Homo-oligomer: A and B are copies of this chain.
Amino acid sequence: MPTQKRTHPTGAPAPPRRRMSPEDRKEAIVSAAVELFAESGFDGSTRDVARGAGITQPLLYRYFPSKESLIEAVYARVFLKSWEPEWDEILQDRAVPVRDRFQQFYTAYTEAIFQPVWMRLWHFASLRDAEVYGWYREVVQEQILKPLVRERRIELGRNSGFQVTPAELEAPWLLHGGLLNYGLRQQVSGPAAPGDRAAMIDQALEMYMLFTASQAADDTSEDPS
């Protein structure tokens, strides 16, 4: 049937060729790529990405010179966009106790990243190139863990003015890593009840508070000024 063009395999007429602004089209492609790569990893084919975006595969190469550059666009979309500026405000509000502050922050933060798309893309990316993991490590350490150590110091009245030491970061890293791992675990065996995440965050902070209080007590008993 040589005259029958632009019909879907179902027999329904295919959507007519729609011209879209380059910005919107690029946006649509990245969205489709995020979905596919989160599910199949970065070995998902450009043809499937194109299908998800409702276009043909070669058109993709008008917007991205290579598959690698598309992957970088996915990185930027998912990872760079993931830090909400309002979180900084929560962490710095000294009118609120440290524990409540971080409880509030971690509730919002885990809500954002404990999602299949974020977690799976993050793991795929970390396995592909170590740079992504190193970048995430830096963000967590500077934006979350160091503030936590500093604010807790002040609360305990031992703001020695020193910089945060690597040793001081170990305990926060342990708990942050534990929460991350909880997110991964939850994702595989189906999302747990909503209250469980809050309980997990609560326990993590409880442990940190107990640990730091205990350490402060040890120091003053060993070194009575």
Contacts and interface: CB of A to CB of B under 8 A. Distances in A.
A12 B133 CA distance: 43
A64 interface: no
Contacts of A20: none
A205 to B, nearest CB: 11
Contacts of A211: 203, 206-207, 210
Oligomeric state, in copies: 2
Interface string A185-209: 1001100000010011001101110
Query: Mostly helix, strand, loop or mixed at chain A's interface?
Result: helix
Interface size class of A (residues with CB under 8 A): 35 or more
A99 to B, nearest CB: 14
B127 A188 contact: no
A147 interface: no
Interface in A150-178: 167, 170-171, 173-178
B174 A179 contact: yes
Nearest to A119: B127
A83 interface: no
A199 B180 CA distance: 21
Given A124-B127, A127-B123, A189-B137, A173 B178 contact: yes
Interface of A: 41, 43, 120, 123-124, 126-127, 130, 133-134, 137, 167, 170-171, 173-182, 184-185, 188-189, 196, 199-200, 203-204, 206-208, 210-211, 214
Nearest 8 A/B pairs, CB to CB: A177-B181, A174-B178, A178-B178, A177-B178, A210-B210, A133-B188, A207-B207, A130-B188
19 contacts: A41-B127, A123-B126, A126-B188, A130-B188, A133-B184, A134-B188, A134-B189, A167-B199, A173-B185, A174-B200, A174-B203, A175-B178, A176-B178, A177-B179, A177-B182, A178-B181, A181-B181, A207-B210, A210-B214
Given A167-B199, A171-B203, A173-B185, 19 more contacts: A41-B41, A123-B126, A126-B188, A127-B127, A130-B188, A133-B184, A137-B188, A137-B189, A173-B182, A174-B178, A174-B181, A175-B178, A176-B178, A177-B177, A177-B181, A177-B185, A178-B181, A207-B208, A207-B211
